[in-house]
Amino acid sequence: MEFLITYRPEVEQASSGRMEMERVEAVYREHHVRLWRSLLAYTGDADLASEAAAETFSQAVARGTELRDPAAWIWRSAFKIAGGIMSERRARSEDQPIDEVLDLVAGEMSFSTFPLVEFVDSLMDLPNQRRAVVVLRYAGGFSAPEIAELLGTSANTVRVQLHRAHGQLRERIEQT
């Protein structure tokens, strides 16, 4: 009995697409909660955090095999997408009440409300890059080298941004 084997590129593409979807899905399962909370802390807006996370994962699926490291790409892109949406919304000035943000960011953390209000308010005054580094470090739980990889910069730059952010936050909180 002889079998004829025929190459069918559409079968290979479908299989490859399914594998990529599974790769992105695995990253989603592992990172989506931490990513969303980090985006919430970064943006101060639950809807914006959800929109940025959804758009990021959607783009990751569309890019498929282009992504060498889907997790790093997703974290980096999510903050860029969130920053773009923030700019658009700032132009229309749509802000979420601070109480809602505090409830969502705090989650299961045990903070008294007053210091958290000051912290979130101070965090929103930081430049985007510093705010992203602080959020990734403390809400995301990433180390300086991991943050550097996610943001496409060096670990030293991350450390400098963290140091400067700490100074700004300390100064701001001491003034209140």
- CB-based burial of residue 58 (10 Å sphere; 0-12 exposed, 13-18 middle, 19+ buried)? exposed
Whether 6 has a pLDDT exceeding 80, the answer reads no
pTM of the entire structure?
Answer: 0.64
Domains and CATH numbers, the chain: 10-175 (1.20.140.160)
**Measured on CA atoms in the order 116, 176, 122, 171, is the torsion positive or negative?**
negative
63 vs 6 pLDDT, higher one? 63
Confidence band (pLDDT; 50, 70, 90) for 159? very high
**Cα torsion at 113, 97, 36, 60 (round to 10°)?**
-160
Per the rule left: phi > 0, alpha: psi between -120 and 50, beta: everything else, 153 is: beta
| pLDDT value at residue 12 | 44
78 vs 123 pLDDT, higher one? 78
| pLDDT value at residue 69 | 87
Please tell me whether residue 141 adopts helix, strand or coil conformation: coil
**The token pair that represents 123 in the structure block:** 């965090």
pLDDT one-digit tens code per residue, 31-85: 999 999 999 888 888 888 999 999 999 999 888 888 888 888 999 999 999 988 8
CB distance 46 to 90 below 8 Å: no
Report d(CA 47, CA 40) in Å as an integer.
9
Name the residue type at position 132: A
Confidence band (pLDDT; 50, 70, 90) for 109? very low
Lowest-confidence range among 1-15, 89-103, 120-134?
1-15
Report d(CA 73, CA 56) in Å as an integer.
9
Lowest-confidence range among 5-9, 74-78, 134-138, 144-148?
5-9
Half-sphere exposure of 53 (CA within 13 A, CB side): 21
